[in-house]
Amino acid sequence: MKADIHPKWYESAKIKCACGNQFSVGAAVPEIKVEVCYKCHPFYTGQMKFVDTAGRVDAFLKKQKKAKKKVLSKTEKRKLKREKKIKEESEKPDSLEEIRKAAKKRKNN
């Protein structure tokens, strides 16, 4: 076996929680900072509170709100696309003379 490959073991590593609770356990690092511990975790306390890490709750609520919006079916999407295409076709100039007038306007501006 190789010698000196294992990390140093700390018998009483300090665990510090965001709520202020501190306790010690054995670990490979001397100090660990955590956001939630047994004194403030909703499962152990019975209190309903959001434990938000990096905006996960906000992202979830945003996703839920977006899911409630009306979702278009394929036929509705096709209909909208067809209407858009018809509108674009109707806005195109009909004759070569109209194209020349439009080009002249762009050139003067």
Task: For 30-56, write each residue's pLDDT tens digit.
Answer: 999 998 888 888 777 777 766 666 777
Residue 63 lies in a domain: no
Residue 78 lies in a domain: yes
Residue 62 lies in a domain: no
Q: Produce one character per residue of 5-39: b if its CB has 16 or more CB atoms within 10 Å, e if not.
A: eeeeebeebeeebeeeeeeeeebeeeeeeeebbee
Residue 105 lies in a domain: yes
Residue 54 lies in a domain: no
With CA atoms as reference, report the closest residue to 23 among 9, 11, 13, 36.
13
Residue 55 lies in a domain: no
Residue 62 pLDDT exceeds 70: yes
Residues of the domain holding 79: 71-109
The C-alpha atoms of residue 93 and residue 46 are separated, in whole angstroms, by 70
Percent over 90 (pLDDT), the chain: 35
In the chain, DSSP assigns E strands to 10-17, 22-27, 31-34
pLDDT of residue 105: 85
> Which single residue is written with the structure tokens 């190789």?
2
Beta-bridge mates of residue 14: 24, 31
Overall number of domains in the chain: 2
Residue 80 pLDDT exceeds 90: yes
Residue 1 lies in a domain: no
